[in-house]
Amino acid sequence: MTGAPRLLLAPMEGLLDHHLRDVLTRVGGLDRCVSEFIRVTDRLVPDHVFLRRVPELRRGSRTASGVPVRPQLLGSDPACLADNAAALAALGAEGVDLNFGCPARTVNRHRGGAVLLDEPELLRAIVASVRAAVPRDVPVSAKMRLGYRDESRLLDCARALADGGAQEIVVHARTQADGYRPPARWDRIARVRQAVQVPVVANGEVWTVDDARRCLAESGCAALMLGRGLVADPWLALAIRGEGAGPGAGEDLRPLLRAFWDGLAGDFAERHRPGRLKQWLNLLRRRFPAAQAAWERVRAVDDAATVERLVFGAD
Ligand SMILES: Cc1cc2nc3c(=O)[nH]c(=O)nc-3n(C[C@H](O)[C@H](O)[C@H](O)COP(=O)(O)O)c2cc1C
């Protein structure tokens, strides 16, 4: 690797909320986060909804440790997305990211996410409309997959996003039809990079430092977006930078889990807290034997007090 790559934290609806962003950015190594998507239909999203999803907006669009957070919008109506992007900018958003990658059937049925990759002209119109609606110094970026059913429109889509005014394009190197099945085809990102002038960020299946090296080499990118790999190993970004000792070197997960668990108490009903913690443990257990043990203790437990005792009892 020549020089440290820029490292972005991926949006992950249902898991990577502001609590987990806070915990993971405290560990370090990340340059920017993208929020989980905010759905836009045919009206203005109330400010209180933006602020609930991205409370970092109250802190200059940064996490407590100072890492910028860029809100992400998902929708298909250029004018309505533009109005909502302008509202986000007025709230101090560091930038606006647009979701053209969500594979969920219900979202796609309502013309949101990856299904729009079949309509490059609409992609261009959406980005142009959003770009025109926010101040020049507020970057507009887009996140795409390789395509919806297949990759035949990959370069048309990437060029449409760049022509519309996207200042950065994140490419998750799979189609909607691929879902989350490995492999991620990093070499396809290199084609996108050659087709557009704007920075391209590589995403998909980076779980280790070695994956990061190979992804950077195959894609030719200078930036990576890390999703499940960083949630499974909060020290991954530092390790990719050659800093920190990495997991297995005695890193203690408990303070991180405790901070997340306590944070959830602030805005989650008790019955929803265990599910969130278990989702994180389910990824952490790929790397950490202690997380595996905790996950086995709580996997069948839904009661918050019992989960707390079983995970943190010895604290
Ligand atoms: C549970 C989950 C939720 C996700 N939510 C979003 C989302 O809100 N917006 C988005 O653009 N991508 C979303 N993604 C996709 C990720 O940002 C990322 O592109 C994908 O997980 C591949 O990267 P990874 O292999 O590093 O995890 C989500 C992925 C997962 C697994």
The answer to whether residues 86 and 134 touch, using CB atoms and an 8 Å cutoff, is yes
Give the pLDDT confidence score for residue 3 in this predicted structure.
80
Helix, strand or coil, per DSSP, at residue 98: strand
Helix, strand or coil, per DSSP, at residue 203: strand
The reply to whether ligand 1 has any atom less than 6 angstroms from the CB of 8 is no
Hey, which of 7, 8, 13 would you mutate to test ligand 1's pocket, going by the most ligand atoms within 8 Å of its Cβ?
A: 13
The reply to whether ligand 1 has any atom less than 6 angstroms from the CB of 170 is no
Give the pLDDT confidence score for residue 244 in this predicted structure.
76
**What are the strands, taking DSSP E only, across the chain?**
6-9, 32-39, 69-74, 96-100, 140-147, 168-175, 200-203, 223-226
Mean pLDDT, the chain cut into blocks of 10 residues (315 residues total): 86 96 97 98 97 98 98 98 98 98 94 97 98 98 98 98 98 97 98 98 97 98 98 96 71 92 90 95 95 96 95 78
* Ligand 1 centroid – CA 16 distance (Å): 9
Give the pLDDT confidence score for residue 2 in this predicted structure.
56
Give the pLDDT confidence score for residue 49 in this predicted structure.
98
The answer to whether residues 192 and 164 touch, using CB atoms and an 8 Å cutoff, is no
Q: Which residues contact 237 (CB under 8 A, 6 or more apart)?
A: 7, 9, 27, 28, 29, 30, 226, 230
Q: Which residues contact 246 (CB under 8 A, 6 or more apart)?
A: 209, 233, 235, 236, 238, 239
Compute CA distances 160 → 140, 194, 230, 297, whole Å. Answer: 14, 14, 30, 49
Of 80, 102, 157, 215, which one is the catalytic site residue?
102
Q: Left (φ > 0), alpha (ψ -120 to 50) or beta: where does 71 sit?
A: beta
Give the pLDDT confidence score for residue 268 in this predicted structure.
85
* Ligand 1 centroid – CA 309 distance (Å): 31
- Amino acid at site 184: A
Give the pLDDT confidence score for residue 314 in this predicted structure.
58
Compute CA distances 266 → 19, 254, 303, whole Å. Answer: 10, 19, 17
Give the pLDDT confidence score for residue 245 in this predicted structure.
66
Give the pLDDT confidence score for residue 1 in this predicted structure.
47
If you search the block for the tokens 């820029």, which residue do you land on? Answer: 6
Hey, which of 8, 12, 98, 100 would you mutate to test ligand 1's pocket, going by the most ligand atoms within 8 Å of its Cβ?
A: 12
Atom of ligand 1 nearest to the CA of 205: 25
The reply to whether ligand 1 has any atom less than 6 angstroms from the CB of 99 is yes
Residue range 128-176, pLDDT digits in tens? 999 999 999 999 999 999 999 999 999 999 999 999 999 999 999 999 9
The reply to whether ligand 1 has any atom less than 6 angstroms from the CB of 10 is yes
